[in-house]
Structure 1
Amino acid sequence: MPVGNVTTIEVDHLAPRSGNIFLWDKVLPGFGVRVTQGGTKSYIYQYRLGGRGSISRRFTIGRHRAPWTAQSARNKALDLAKQVAKGKDPLERRRERRRKQVELRFDRYVELFTEEYLKRRWKDWSRIRSMLVHYAVPTIGTKRISEVRRSDLTAIYRRLDNRPSVARAMHATLRKMFKWAMSRDDLKHSPVQGVDAPPPPKPRNRYLSTEELRCAWETSFQLAGQYGPAFRLMILTGQRRGEVIGLDWSELRRESSRWDLSAERSKNGRSHLIPLSKQAIALLDAVACGKDWPSNGLVFQSSYGTRLSAFSKAKEKWDAMIVRKMRSAGEEGAALAPWRIHDIRRTVATGMQALQIRTEIIESVLNHLSGTMSGIVGVYQCYPYQEEKRQAMKRWGRHIKKLTAS
């Protein structure tokens, strides 16, 4: 095995032969240069961990003159020798560093954050991950998390100008993700620090009028698939869209006319017993094609047997149907003011108020924690209002039946 002075001039004069040839430095053990049959010259450092009986390992420092010289490669080899003397493996450290460079890409880190944090601590982790994937990843992409700047965050929030609630949720999520990265020593400083949260959404007061509600109910039967039954159950129960769309037959009790919503599925993390009116029971009978309901499985499914999605398209068609219905009823030139599916809950609450149902009963029906059920009252007032809720649901169901009777 040739031994000599590994210098830039000496390496320049090394000529390729058949197979690889090596020149080992006589001053620094393990430091050398390798010349391939094709003429490529690379500086290397060869070492053992654990004494003579252990397997030797070879660390490639880099190519000669691209960008390494003999002296800069020697300095690197000296640094590697110090690591080996401390029992550290340079190859393993390089692999770990490269692995981290991939893991610390923003798009990859979102997945790591989902697996290691969101799935373990946030019950609505799927929604949060989807938000990050759809709005943050396309903007930041493969940048390392240490390269994310405040301007990147501003660009994300700008995409959400017309969705203030999502923008604020994004800000809170990114703040948590970068704080978590700092706790793992993956990041020194959070780019969210010092960035103001997007402004809160303006309070909404939109609800469907009596005529709009009637037309919405009647036209929902014309919607394709199971969108119509799902929307009608929202109207009959006042429950949130996600809770209705995720409804499983195992949560329903036909014999006791009840829907048991678990804390895991409830948006506010509180279990909720929802009495079902006769109208709601009839709707579910229709979906099940009889009174023998399935024991499990999604109640409302797409044509592929999956959870319903693409609600914006379904609602766009629904809105057009509602307008046509209103105009056919004699309201020439009738228009439908913008509204959201979530406004159904406000419509139910407003309608129940008109029926003179007490506010605390309405909030209990909606599983709502603000107002009379927030703060210290929500902590110490544990009365479930179950019978009162049942009576409220009966009155509301009769109101809908009377309202939509032809």
Structure 2
Amino acid sequence: MKKALTNKTVEALKPQGKRYEVRDAYCPGFGVRITPNGRKTFFVSYRYGIDQRRPSIGIYPITSLSNARTQAIAILRDVAEGIDPQYARSRDKLTLREGVEAFITQYAKPRNKSWREAERVLDRELVSRFGEREIEKMTRGDILVASDAAMARGAKYQANRIVSNARKLFNWFLERGIIDVNPLTGIRAPAREKSRDRVLTDDELARVIAACRNMTYPFGPYTLMLLATAQRRSEVTNMRWSEIDFEKRNWEIPAERSKNGKSHNVPLSDFALKILGDVSRFPDCDFVFTTTRRSPISGITKMHRRICDISETNGWRLHDLRRTASSKMAEAGIQLQVAEKVLNHISGSLAGVAGVYNRYHYEPEKRAALESWAEILSLLEASYSCSKGAKNAAHFANPC
């Protein structure tokens, strides 16, 4: 039912056997809902994104018709300008904790595969300090408190991540009318970042392999699989048995887990297949590496420290294994575009026009490259075992 709502018409609306609504002819989307007990509630109906919403504005006569219509017009204006009325109306009461939750759910998750890292940084560095503070009351100094604390403890890259993630967060608030000014405008990264160039030496690789062989499932086999496949940590962490074709000796990483959003086939060498062959499969569990049988492997940071201690190596990260594999492939004479295909890169020689027109997937070359890399790993492992055995033999021959 649609009528030109006036004070007289609203007053004259009578309850019926069931709830009914009367829409306003003057303001599309605005109306009043009448319940069987005679309660009259103003509402406004609108669509924001894919969501259909119909929030209540006030109860008549506590809220007057003119006041309710004014609120409805303001809400509809926000929608027309791309501002989420759900936040614009409650901007004075929205806390940073609530804002971060909305940002992660509505913005980060659908657009960024590394949204968990953004969530971790924001929760640990900002929400833990200022979670209950109203967003409009957050200042530039509040963000700098968190970034300066990270700099003071020597976490320079973390300080940069705090500023960059907070800037995205407050830009999102600004776009939705939650704030009028981004307090981070003009703030530069606290520290200058230098691209890592760490490549493990042959001796370090051999020591790491030996350390992994002496570690139990899932940590030892997991690290060896990082080495054998040269894939990203997140991709190996979430590796599933259902993605592996043992007959064709392939591992298919689905597009939703690949960093560039494209499915990626990883040929499995004998070295990699031997690792998988030694891993036990749990009933009703698809994860290859798991500590709970319900989720992927966890405790990776602690695992990495243990590998460093056992292997007596330091100064490297798990991602450096991927760079090491790429560098060793280049030393072995493997072409750059083949190595990039193994790593699932779309930069370098496969970027731009070349990437658009060159649709060849280099599958035979990728398999040959990973087999060559596996041979290098096997030789390093064998050489280290022999040298260690020779040292042990010399020790027992000359115990003094």
Query: Which residue in the other structure is 2:249 paired with?
Result: 257
Q: Single out whichever of 103-112 and 365-374 deviates more from structure 2.
A: 365-374
Q: Single out whichever of 370-379 and 180-189 deviates more from structure 2.
A: 370-379
Query: Which residue in the other structure is 1:178 paired with?
Result: 170
Using the size of structure 2 for normalisation, the TM-score is 0.71
Does residue 130 in structure 1 map to residue 120 in structure 2?
yes
Query: Which residue in the other structure is 1:113 paired with?
Result: 103
Query: Which residue in the other structure is 1:402 paired with?
Result: 379
CA RMSD of aligned residues (A): 3.3
In 2 relative to 1, CA 258–314 (structure 1 residues): closer, same or farther, beyond 3 Å?
Answer: same
1:368 aligned partner, one-letter code? H
Contact persistence 1:257–1:275 (CA under 8 A):
yes
Does residue 202 in structure 1 map to residue 194 in structure 2?
yes
Question: 2:175 and 2:88 mapped to 1: Cα distance?
Answer: 20
In 2 relative to 1, CA 402–160 (structure 1 residues): closer, same or farther, beyond 3 Å?
Answer: same
Q: Report the structure number with the largest CA radius of gyration.
A: 1
Give the unaligned 5+ runs of structure 1.
Answer: 1-46, 58-79, 324-335
Does residue 302 in structure 1 map to residue 291 in structure 2?
yes
In 2 relative to 1, CA 399–159 (structure 1 residues): closer, same or farther, beyond 3 Å?
Answer: same
CA shift at 1:355, angstroms? 1.3
Does residue 313 in structure 1 map to residue 305 in structure 2?
no
Q: May I ask how many residue pairs the two structures share in their alignment?
A: 322
| Aligned-partner SS, 1:264 | helix
Query: Which residue in the other structure is 1:374 paired with?
Result: 351
In 2 relative to 1, CA 380–103 (structure 1 residues): closer, same or farther, beyond 3 Å?
Answer: farther
Question: 1:220 and 1:129 mapped to 2: Cα distance?
Answer: 31
CA shift at 1:353, angstroms? 1.7
2:176 aligned partner, one-letter code? R
Deviation track 1:158-196 (CA, whole Å, cap 9, x = no partner) reads 344345555444434332322222222221111122222
Query: Which residue in the other structure is 1:357 paired with?
Result: 334
CA shift at 1:311, angstroms? 1.7
Query: Which residue in the other structure is 1:51 paired with?
Result: 11
Q: Single out whichever of 308-317 and 225-234 deviates more from structure 2.
A: 308-317
Query: Which residue in the other structure is 2:50 paired with?
Result: none
Deviation track 1:73-130 (CA, whole Å, cap 9, x = no partner) reads xxxxxxx99961405299999xx89993686200111111122222333333333222
Query: Which residue in the other structure is 1:84 paired with?
Result: 64
Q: Percent identity?
A: 30
Query: Which residue in the other structure is 2:366 paired with?
Result: 389
Q: Single out whichever of 125-134 and 396-405 deviates more from structure 2.
A: 125-134
1:377 aligned partner, one-letter code? A
2:90 aligned partner, one-letter code? K
Superposition misfits of 4+ residues, deviation over 6 angstroms: 89-93, 96-99, 293-296
Query: Which residue in the other structure is 1:23 paired with?
Result: none
Query: Which residue in the other structure is 1:73 paired with?
Result: none
Contact persistence 2:249–2:269 (CA under 8 A):
yes
In 2 relative to 1, CA 379–310 (structure 1 residues): closer, same or farther, beyond 3 Å?
Answer: same
In 2 relative to 1, CA 89–285 (structure 1 residues): closer, same or farther, beyond 3 Å?
Answer: same
Counterparts of 1:148-187 in structure 2, within 5 Å, are 148-161=138-151, 162-187=154-179
1:51 aligned partner, one-letter code? E
Does residue 268 in structure 1 map to residue 265 in structure 2?
no
CA shift at 1:265, angstroms? 0.5
Contact persistence 1:300–1:307 (CA under 8 A):
yes
Question: 1:56 and 1:193 mapped to 2: Cα distance?
Answer: 48
Contact persistence 2:87–2:176 (CA under 8 A):
no
Question: 1:380 and 1:165 mapped to 2: Cα distance?
Answer: 37
| Aligned-partner SS, 2:252 | strand
Q: Single out whichever of 228-237 and 259-268 deviates more from structure 2.
A: 259-268
Question: 2:103 and 2:174 mapped to 1: Cα distance?
Answer: 12
Contact persistence 2:287–2:293 (CA under 8 A):
no
CA shift at 1:296, angstroms? 6.4
In 2 relative to 1, CA 295–83 (structure 1 residues): closer, same or farther, beyond 3 Å?
Answer: closer
2:100 aligned partner, one-letter code? V
Give the unaligned 5+ runs of structure 2.
Answer: 1-6, 15-33, 41-59, 75-85, 386-400
